[in-house]
Amino acid sequence: MRIRSRLSHLAAVALAAGLTAGAAQAQFKERNFRVSNGVSKEHPMGNGLAKMGACTLEKSGGKMKIQPFWDGALGSDLTGTQSVRTGSLDMVITSTAPVVSIVPALGVFDLPFLFNTSSEADKLLDGKVGDWFSAKLPAVGLVNLAWWENGFRHTTNSKRPINKVEDFDGVKMRVMQNAIFLDTFKTLGSNAVPMAFTEVYSALETKTVDGQENPFTNIENMKFYEVQKYLTLTKHAYSPTLVLFSKKIWDTLSAQEQATLRECAVQGRDEQRRANRAMEARSVDSLKAKGMTVNEIAPAEMQRIRERSSVIYERHTKAIGDEAITMVTAELKRIRDN
C-alpha cells in the first residue's frame, strides 16, 4: 500500500511535469524564419544570427528555426525591407540608413559625428530612446527585435589618401541611399552617388565610383580592399543595425513565440556586437596586410571636416523631425555627463 501510493505519487509528478513541458511546447509551432542579409556569412552578423538561432531552437524545443540568406541573395537592404513589410519575407538585417525613406526619424543616426563611442551608442539604443524609434516601426509593417551594430564608418577610395577636406574634391563616392548621406558627401566636396550595397563591389571594380564608406568589418568582409587602395580613418558616423521582423507574420505568432524571438534577438545582439568589435580591433592591421594604405587625418584637419559638415544638422532637421534630434542629443549629453 505504501509502495503503491508512492508510485502513484511519482507517476502524478511525472505526468504533471510532462504536461507542463507539453503545454509550453504547444505554444510553439514548426517555424522557419528566413532572414535577408547584405553581407557574407563570415561577417559578425553570422555570429549573431547563429546565436539567435541556437537560442530560438532551444527555447522552442527544436521548432523555431532561423535561416539566414547572405550576400543580398533575397534582396538589398531596402528591397529586403520592403519584402518584410509585405510579409513575403520574415526578417531582414539592415542598417538604419536605407530605412530612412520609410521612417524619416531614423535619419538622426546618419548625422555626421553624432556618436563618439560604441558604448554610448549601446546605452542610447538599448534604452528608452532606442525603444522610441522601435515604436515607430509597427505602423509601417515592421517590428524591430533588437539593435545590433554595423559600426563606425570610414572612407576608402582608389584615388588618394584623404588628409584634408579638399581631398574629397573630384572623388566619386558611393553613399547609402538617403538624402543625409548624399548631402554630407556633396558638402565635403565629393561627387556622391547613392547606390545599394549589393552593387558596390562591382561599381568600385569597374571604377563607376572611386570610393565608398563603411565600417572596417564590411570593407574586409566584402573584399573592398581588392579594389580600393586607400583607407582613411574618418569615423564620420556610427551605423546601428535593425533586426526587422515582418509585422504581418508577427501578428500570427503566439505570445510565447514573440517573447522568444525578442529574447533571442538580444542574446544574438550581445554576441554580434562582441564579434564585430573583436574583428574591428584587428581589421586595420589585416587591411594593411592585404595591401591597403591606411591614414589618419590630423586633428586640425578633422576639425575642419566636422565644421564643414555641421550644416547637415540644420538642413535636415525638418525632414528628420525636431523631436527625434532633440531627444537623441539630450540623451547623448546625459550619457556623456554620467
Give exposure, 87-117, as e/b (b: 16+ Cβ within 10 Å): eebbbbbbbbbbbbebbbbbbbbbbbbbbee
* Residue whose Cβ sits closest to ligand TF8: 38
Among 35, 39, 171, 261, binds ligand TF8 (CB under 6 A): 39
Whether 147 and 125 have beta carbons less than 8 Å apart is answered as yes
Q: Report the residue number, 67 or 254, with the smaller CB distance to ligand TF8.
A: 67
Q: Is 217 in the site for ligand TF8 (CB under 6 A)?
A: no
The backbone torsions φ and ψ at residue 208, rounded to the nearest 5 degrees and listed phi first, read -60, -35
Cα 239 from Cα 219, distance rounded (Å): 14
Q: Work out how close the CB of 133 gets to ligand TF8 at its nearest, in angstroms, rounded to a whole number.
A: 16
Cα 90 from Cα 249, distance rounded (Å): 7
Q: Report the residue number, 35 or 325, with the smaller CB distance to ligand TF8.
A: 35
Among 218, 234, 246, 276, binds ligand TF8 (CB under 6 A): 218
Q: Is 179 in the site for ligand TF8 (CB under 6 A)?
A: no
Q: Is 38 in the site for ligand TF8 (CB under 6 A)?
A: yes
Q: Is 272 in the site for ligand TF8 (CB under 6 A)?
A: no
What is the enclosing helix (H) or strand (E) of 294?
strand 293-295
Return the percent helix, strand and coil in the chain, to nearest 5: 55, 20, 25
Q: Report the residue number, 60 or 221, with the smaller CB distance to ligand TF8.
A: 221
Whether 114 and 335 have beta carbons less than 8 Å apart is answered as no
Three-state DSSP string of 236-292: EEEEEEEEEEEHHHHCCCCHHHHHHHHHHHHHHHHHHHHHHHHHHHHHHHHHHHCCC
Q: Is 151 in the site for ligand TF8 (CB under 6 A)?
A: no
Going from the C-alpha of 83 to that of each of 74, 116, 246, 265, the distances in angstroms are: 9, 33, 8, 20
SS3 171: coil
The backbone torsions φ and ψ at residue 162, rounded to the nearest 5 degrees and listed phi first, read -90, 115
Q: Report the residue number, 150 or 155, with the smaller CB distance to ligand TF8.
A: 150
Q: Report the residue number, 83 or 94, with the smaller CB distance to ligand TF8.
A: 94
SS3 127: coil
Q: Is 246 in the site for ligand TF8 (CB under 6 A)?
A: no
Q: Is 197 in the site for ligand TF8 (CB under 6 A)?
A: yes
50-79 mask for ligand TF8 (x: CB under 6 A)?
A: ---------------------------x--
Q: Work out how close the CB of 229 gets to ligand TF8 at its nearest, in angstroms, rounded to a whole number.
A: 19
Q: Report the residue number, 156 or 260, with the smaller CB distance to ligand TF8.
A: 156
Q: Is 47 in the site for ligand TF8 (CB under 6 A)?
A: no
Q: Is 96 in the site for ligand TF8 (CB under 6 A)?
A: no
Q: Is 214 in the site for ligand TF8 (CB under 6 A)?
A: yes
Name residues contacting ligand TF8, limited to 76-95 (CB under 6 A): 77, 94-95
Binding site for ligand TF8 (CB under 6 A): 38-39, 77, 94-95, 150, 176, 197, 214, 218, 239
